[in-house]
A and B are shown apart, each in its own frame.
Chain A
Amino acid sequence: MIQPEPSRQQGVTLPDSKREGLRAWLKIQVESESYQPPRSGVILLQVLVGLFFFIFVVRFWYLQVHRGEEFTLQAQRNHQREERIFAPRGRILDATGKVLADNRTAYGLSLVREDCHDVPATLAQISAWSGIALDRIQDKYRLDRVKMKAFEPLQLITDINFDLVARIESEVYAWPGLSIVVRTKRHYPEKDLFAHVLGYVAEANEKELSNDDALALGDLVGKQGLEFKLEKALRGHKGLYEVDVDAHSRILGKHLHTRPRGGQEIHLALDRDLQKAAWEALDGEAGCVVVMEADTGRLRALVTAPAYDNNLFAAGISQKDWNLLRNNKRFPLQNRVIQSIYPPGSVWKLVMAALFLENGVSPKATVFCGGQVKLGNQIFRCWRRGGHGHMDMEASLIHSCDVYYYIMAERLGIDKIEDFARACGFGKTTGIDLPHERSGLVPSREWKKRRFKTPWVRGDTYNTSIGQGYTLVTPVQMAVYVSALLNGGYLLKPQLLDDAAREERGRIPAQERTLLFLVEAMRKTASVGTAKVVGRKDADMGGKTGTAQVVKLRMTAGERRLTTAEVEYAQRDHAWIATWGIKNSKRYVVVVMVEHGGGGSSVAGPVAKKVYAHLFGPEPGDSKVLAGAVRHQTAVR
């Protein structure tokens, strides 16, 4: 752009007449004096060059040597990114191999902020596609953006259905930074049936993220049930890609750094079909069923009703669904087997009888039951208004006589009852592999003093002796106790996993013959007593019913006992039955508890019977089943 000046060419093209004038003007002016450069100027230039050299070399030293490693790391981080490879979560199967929890493909949308030119418009577009309210997407974006680097994909919606994926896929190219990501989603094919046992997974929250380095935003972690308890085994280990990218996030190369390792597959001791049978036996009542192998502690069924569909949580439960579950008066979120504590009612007599035997009470000793006992001006009644007459220990169990226990318990006193109940595993958790198990309550003098500021009175002992009053137990504690009666007194940890080893957590402080006495009494109760309903000819059966009062005064002014249907639901009795059944040397314990169900034998008993019908097969001579079989044969023919 700088052309040599035309005049520099010495005017070769100029006409002669003008030449002389130009010559004079172009004449080189010669300075008259001889020139010496100014000293100060010479020094100035030298100093400037010296300073330049010194300062710049020092600065390069500082950047390249002193802080070189730091910048090298930054340069590496610039162009090397890590991409996690998700490891599939381990499946959960029942004892027969039926799938209870597996993984499904889920499509989500994620946004790389760095590549996105117009975040608000993109978010609005996502809202338009998915139908999710814009402010919810904006909230999620605002909350999560601080946790992710600008070039990391930020997952905005997690589960879009396949049709929508197809539509978005055809338009997503117009939205830089936005991409469809394929993830897995937890799926529970049995829904409500195993909801409480399995629990559910959901996106890791703030606290979980900070406690566990292996977790990243958007990862699913177990929140409840076995998903929570077995998180470490189920999760597996993520793989890692090292990705080389350029400044425009263009991927130049991908190297597998770590192979992902899927989570462990878990086999449960539970049997899906038995679980289903127990669920159906409850027939919509609120309650629970525990089926346990008496010799190993393995749980074959663990049903609590009502339940919820845990898939709702896996997909990210909506506020509306959550509120519905939380405000439901029948508490579907509660795992009744381990989290609900109930007065044990007459089932408790199995504990009291063992205590009496161990304290020198002769099984032959009788008590006269006249239907009630007076204590001061208080009247303690037997459930049978007319009384049972003379009762020995076995008869008191078979007929569930209350008066026998009032009298015997008074002789021993509350302190012995408390110690014995604790030794039998009550008042503490069973150690089952589920979170939030409750320990129940074994009352004592100190406890009452602390709790009510009043001393323990004899009436309290009376109430305690028949499983009323303050004592509270969980159904699983009762199952563990009954199992111990059968297996020689060992209090076993209830095991959910198929390969779990038998684990003794304690022993009932009772002699062999005490246990045998109780087993025999239960056998008789199941054949001629209150638990007659579970008896069957083809198996050795035993049981004990309980009807736990929720409200003390059940009498109307006319001294007539109200029927269950006449009482408000929340005031109805809890129905218990604790049973065992032995067939082909397999020994099972089935405990059923129907909340506000009414009488133990009339409500809980038939449920247990149906469970045994599944365990041992239909009872021979059951006309209905026979008829069904005949019909079936006819149809085949």
Chain B
Amino acid sequence: MDTRLFSYLNWGLLACMLALYLVGIGNLYSASGTRLEEGMTFASYYQRQLVWGLIGLTGMLLAMYFDYRRLRNLAWPFFILTLILLLLVPLVGKTVYGAKRWLPLGFMSLQPSELAKLAVLILAARLLARSGNPLGWKEFGIVLAVGLAPAALIITQPDLGTTLLVLLILAGMILFHGIRGYVFKTCLLAVPCVGAFMWFVGMHDYQRQRVLTFLNPGDDPRGTGYHILQSRIAIGSGEIWGKGYGEGTQSQLRFLPERHSDFAVAVFGEEWGFVGCVALVTLFCLFLLSIFSTAVQAKDRFGSMLVVGVFFYFFWQIVINMGMVIGLMPVVGIPLPFISYGGSAMLVNFLLLGIVLNVSMRRFMFKS
């Protein structure tokens, strides 16, 4: 590999990423703590997250090593493989908490819906890179089908969060690429209809309940509303300066549910206060903007579209998760990148950033 490539690396992105990773580990350490009658005990989440992060960093280096343009050739095979795996899930999948999402691989479980995000992202980048012209009905239809096929399989698992994420990433990429005015307007009209269809046909009772509870959490303070109320109390009680690291009563006394995973940022908000939260939001913005800069600087449309896909991959997760925690969005099981505990998500995050760094490194290369 050409060592000159490193001089073109997006160092800002790397810095943001590492900063987020460390904030995540630190926060998870505090969120793992449980105050007992005497002293504290710590669950091992932060250690495992640390290890997964190191694995992820290795994966990231691998993802930077080859020329990203080779991914274009792999887009279809990868996509088809993913579809096959998704089809296998209902047949041989493992049921956990009433949802069939995992394929047992003996030593570990594979969640094909995680692969689907990547597959859709890469294939959509390839399809959108064919032309710079805004999408007409035909092209739009093809790209949409690429997203809807896996989405249809994922939602039956059921996994609303991932389904939404796949479709939202696709929508972001399409909007970035450009779409003809009449197609866009038609879509705008179709959204309420699809929404209504989802509400009455596609959603489970518990999901409908979640949306209703989001609109009025006081209705159900012991059930779904409990998450929302407790996380608002946690964040709000941080006030301006926070309660101090490791001092959050909401999290350490276990009033806050899911405090390692989906509601991890509430722990952060409680302990670091408004100042910390603004810093975190700023960090996320810098992170997103450095991905964005790579997308703009990329020398070919495929690379650019790939990076835009990654941008939306992170953007939607950040918006949906933090929005959920601070009561701007209904409760959907989407983790916050780098902050929420989750090994495979960590690995995917680093792999995707590896692709972004890959694109940024090779932005001055014309020919391979």
- Tell me if A5 counts as interface (CB < 8 A to partner B): yes
How distant is A22 from chain B, measured CB to nearest CB, in Å? 10
Q: Which residues of A contact B115 (CB under 8 A)?
A: 1-2
Whether A75 lies near B368 (C-beta < 8 A) is no
Whether A78 lies near B250 (C-beta < 8 A) is yes
Q: Which residues of B contact A10 (CB under 8 A)?
A: 66
Bound CA–CA A35/B69 (angstroms): 14
How distant is A503 from chain B, measured CB to nearest CB, in Å? 57
Q: Which of A55, A57, A79 contacts B253 (CB under 8 A)?
A: A79
Whether A246 lies near B285 (C-beta < 8 A) is no
Q: Which of A38, A60, A70, A247 contacts B176 (CB under 8 A)?
A: A38
CB interface residues, B 194-250, toward A, < 8 Å: 222, 230, 232-240, 249-250
Whether A52 lies near B315 (C-beta < 8 A) is yes
Q: Which residues of A contact B59 (CB under 8 A)?
A: 2, 4
Bound CA–CA A44/B176 (angstroms): 7
In the complex, per-residue mask of A44-62: 1 if CB is within 8 Å of any chain B CB, else 0: 1110110011011101110
Q: Which residues of B contact A52 (CB under 8 A)?
A: 281, 284-285, 288, 315, 318-319
Whether A2 lies near B285 (C-beta < 8 A) is no
Whether A28 lies near B177 (C-beta < 8 A) is no
- Tell me if B94 counts as interface (CB < 8 A to partner A): no
Whether B239 lies near A72 (C-beta < 8 A) is yes
Whether A60 lies near B308 (C-beta < 8 A) is no
In the complex, per-residue mask of B87-119: 1 if CB is within 8 Å of any chain A CB, else 0: 000000000000000000000101100110010
Q: Which of B73, B230, B240, B288 contacts A26 (CB under 8 A)?
A: B73
Chain B interface, DSSP helix/strand/loop, else mixed: helix
In the complex, per-residue mask of B141-161: 1 if CB is within 8 Å of any chain A CB, else 0: 000000000000000000000
- Tell me if A16 counts as interface (CB < 8 A to partner B): no
Whether B278 lies near A57 (C-beta < 8 A) is yes
Whether A38 lies near B347 (C-beta < 8 A) is no
Whether B118 lies near A2 (C-beta < 8 A) is yes
Q: Which of B73, B255, B292 contacts A78 (CB under 8 A)?
A: B255
Bound CA–CA A465/B194 (angstroms): 100
- Tell me if A67 counts as interface (CB < 8 A to partner B): yes
How distant is B179 from chain A, measured CB to nearest CB, in Å? 9
- Tell me if B120 counts as interface (CB < 8 A to partner A): no
Of the four ranges (under 10, 10 to 19, 20 to 34, 35 or more), the interface on chain A belongs to: 35 or more
Whether B301 lies near A49 (C-beta < 8 A) is no
Whether A38 lies near B240 (C-beta < 8 A) is no
Whether A60 lies near B300 (C-beta < 8 A) is no
Whether B36 lies near A252 (C-beta < 8 A) is yes
Whether B319 lies near A45 (C-beta < 8 A) is no
Q: Which residues of B contact A60 (CB under 8 A)?
A: 235, 269, 274, 277-278, 281, 326
Which residue of chain B has its CB nearest to the CB of A114? B222
Bound CA–CA A44/B255 (angstroms): 39
How distant is A68 from chain B, measured CB to nearest CB, in Å? 4
Q: Which of A2, A37, A76 contacts B347 (CB under 8 A)?
A: A2
Whether B35 lies near A67 (C-beta < 8 A) is no
Whether A35 lies near B300 (C-beta < 8 A) is yes
Which residue of chain B has its CB nearest to the CB of A244? B253
Q: Which residues of B contact A4 (CB under 8 A)?
A: 59, 62-63
- Tell me if B367 counts as interface (CB < 8 A to partner A): yes
Q: Which residues of A contact B185 (CB under 8 A)?
A: none
Whether A26 lies near B301 (C-beta < 8 A) is no
Whether B368 lies near A2 (C-beta < 8 A) is no
Whether A71 lies near B237 (C-beta < 8 A) is yes
Bound CA–CA A435/B282 (angstroms): 72
Q: Which residues of A contact B237 (CB under 8 A)?
A: 68, 71-72, 74-76
In the complex, per-residue mask of B269-282: 1 if CB is within 8 Å of any chain A CB, else 0: 11001100110011
Whether A40 lies near B322 (C-beta < 8 A) is no
Q: Which residues of A contact B (CB under 8 A)?
A: 1-2, 4-5, 7-8, 10, 25-31, 33-38, 40-42, 44-46, 48-49, 52-53, 55-57, 59-61, 63-65, 67-72, 74-76, 78-79, 150, 244-248, 250-253
| Supplied contacts A45-B176, A64-B235, A75-B237, 5 more A-B pairs, CB within 8 Å | A2-B347, A26-B73, A64-B269, A68-B237, A246-B254
Give me 19 A-to-B residue pairs in the complex whose CB atoms sit less than 8 angstroms apart, sorted by A's number. Answer: A1-B108, A1-B110, A5-B74, A37-B295, A41-B175, A52-B315, A53-B281, A53-B285, A56-B322, A56-B326, A60-B326, A64-B235, A65-B274, A71-B235, A78-B230, A78-B253, A78-B255, A79-B255, A245-B253
Q: Which residues of B contact A (CB under 8 A)?
A: 34-37, 59, 62-63, 66-67, 69-70, 72-74, 78, 108, 110-111, 114-115, 118, 129, 132, 175-178, 222, 230, 232-240, 249-250, 253-255, 269-270, 273-274, 277-278, 281-282, 284-285, 288-289, 292, 295-296, 298-302, 304, 308, 311, 315, 318-319, 322-323, 326-328, 344, 347-348, 351, 366-368
